[in-house]
Chains A and B, each alone.
Chain A
Amino acid sequence: MKESKYLNDLIEALTILPGVGKKSAQRMAYILLRMSKDKTINLANKLSKIITDVSSCNICGIYLDNEDAILQKNSDKHLCIGAGRDESKICVTESPADIYIIENSTDYNGDYFSLTGNLSPLDGRGPSEIGIIRLEERLKKNNISELILATSTTVEGEATAHYIQQLASKHNIKVSRIAFGIPLNGELGYLDSDTISHAFNERKEL
């Protein structure tokens, strides 16, 4: 039976999305075909726009429209964060997405810095690949009082946190690590021994 090469290409392309296997991709592709042309073109334009018109802030790494990114590049101030925030505190994350998560879940009132991953030599990721050099520049230039490390708790995340801690200590900057352990409403019986061990070791005085 004859098949459309373009349709098959789209199905193949859609499978790069997380959680989308071949069947889901097929369903999506057929829905796109059945949809009104305006809607499909609108989606295609939006996809195209994020490639051409979105870039990263050269200070914190979050995604901005190109015009805002250029404004930021030419400004001495950090424009991404609103007025009244404590710029002497920087929360370091592994991705811009983590910044949005923290911003939407906490009342943290400081600044941010997003790395582009964590240190993993076997995956070719060293300090320059994940943006630590940029972070160091920021530590040198600005008057930073505290770095809050919000990297993941994997070996790579811990190694990244330790590396940044060593870097910050050269600049006499206080470093803290976000807490991890028992989740809210969690029951000990459902947790693995590592999590309990970590939570126990990091207990705090009441």
Chain B
Amino acid sequence: MSNNLINSFIIHSRPYSETSMIFDILTKQKGFVSVLAKGVKQKKDLSILQPSRELLLNFTNANLPILTKYEISDTNNLISTKFMLEVLYFNELIYKFTPRNEPCSSLYKFYKSYIKYIKDTEDSSDIIIVGFEVLFLREIGYEITLDHSLEKDINPEKYYSYNHQAGFKEIENNTSLDISITGVDLLNLIRHKFYLISELNKVRRINRGIINRLVGERKIKSYDILD
């Protein structure tokens, strides 16, 4: 058993027998793994084992590793309760899209920085959600792309709709059945200036279409909550 403490975030937890729990955790060094925390429900400091805060964990190397030590990485990193619905959604995306037991230090770095941003920001829920969706999709290899055109070809005056095969494509007018956004919003989207997007609800619908397509039959349950 190693004594190294591993930087981790709890993504999901579920009870295991009367006193134990299984935690699904995103770690910096070992990727997305499950660990068994024996007898943890009886521990006084159980409250530190919660999602949305960075923890330092030690666990064994078994098939189902056993949690042997846990502590808070930074005592001052609790997210406001008003963003807990968003955290549940982000954790569902992580849970459903991240392969198990594969190193994912870039995703970990992104998640950590995003949690810090949520803690400090006064941005709206829409901005926070759109930002996470776009950056998360990029992290897992599904960056929102443009049709064959380049960024410099985007006309702020025109409208663009999203096609799953080709990416964003200019349309003649915005009477199409597809959701379309303005060139200005598209530029802000690809430049990741989410706070400047005027029609965030449309971008959220486009992102949701992409995510639903990727997740397939496994539904994203959080959409029932965020609607």
Instruction: Name A's B-contacting residues (CB within 8 A).
Output: 18-19, 21, 119-128, 153-156, 158-159, 161-163, 190, 192-195, 197
A interface footprint on B102-137 (CB within 8 Å = 1, 0 otherwise): 000000000000000000000000000000000000
In the complex, the answer to whether B72 meets A193 with C-beta atoms within 8 Å is yes
Complex CA–CA separation, A197 to B76 (angstroms): 9
A interface footprint on B1-38 (CB within 8 Å = 1, 0 otherwise): 00000000000101000100000000000000000000
Known contacts A19-B18, A127-B224; is-contact A156 B44 (Cβ 8 Å): no
| B interface residue count range (under 10 / 10 to 19 / 20 to 34 / 35 or more) | 20 to 34
Contacts of A21 in B (CB 8 A): 18
CB-contact partner of A128 in B44, B95, B224, under 8 A: B224
Contacts of B81 in A (CB 8 A): 158-159, 161-162
- Closest residue of chain B to A165, judged by CB? B82
A interface footprint on B52-72 (CB within 8 Å = 1, 0 otherwise): 100000000000000000001
B85 CB-CB contact with A under 8 Å? yes
Interchain nearest-CB distance for B153 vs A (Å): 39
CB-contact partner of B85 in A122, A153, A162, under 8 A: A162
Complex CA–CA separation, A161 to B91 (angstroms): 18
In the complex, the answer to whether A119 meets B47 with C-beta atoms within 8 Å is no
In the complex, the answer to whether B44 meets A190 with C-beta atoms within 8 Å is yes
Complex CA–CA separation, A161 to B144 (angstroms): 34
Contacts of B224 in A (CB 8 A): 121, 126-128
Complex CA–CA separation, A18 to B41 (angstroms): 13
Contacts of A162 in B (CB 8 A): 81-82, 84-85
Instruction: Name B's A-contacting residues (CB within 8 A).
Output: 12, 14, 18, 44-45, 47-48, 50-52, 72, 75, 78, 81-82, 84-85, 87-89, 91-92, 95, 220-222, 224-225
In the complex, the answer to whether A122 meets B82 with C-beta atoms within 8 Å is no
Complex CA–CA separation, A119 to B45 (angstroms): 23
Contacts of A126 in B (CB 8 A): 221, 224-225
Contacts of B85 in A (CB 8 A): 119, 159, 162-163
CB-contact partner of A120 in B44, B47, B78, B88, under 8 A: B88
Contacts of B12 in A (CB 8 A): 122
CB-contact partner of A121 in B50, B82, B88, under 8 A: B88
Interchain nearest-CB distance for B197 vs A (Å): 22
Complex CA–CA separation, A21 to B20 (angstroms): 13
Query: What would 16 more interface pairs be, CB under 8 Å, given A156-B88, A190-B44?
Result: A21-B18, A119-B225, A121-B220, A122-B88, A122-B91, A125-B221, A127-B225, A128-B224, A159-B81, A159-B84, A159-B85, A159-B88, A159-B225, A162-B84, A192-B47, A193-B75
Contacts of B220 in A (CB 8 A): 121
In the complex, the answer to whether B48 meets A163 with C-beta atoms within 8 Å is no
Contacts of B91 in A (CB 8 A): 122
In the complex, the answer to whether A122 meets B92 with C-beta atoms within 8 Å is yes
Contacts of A158 in B (CB 8 A): 81, 84
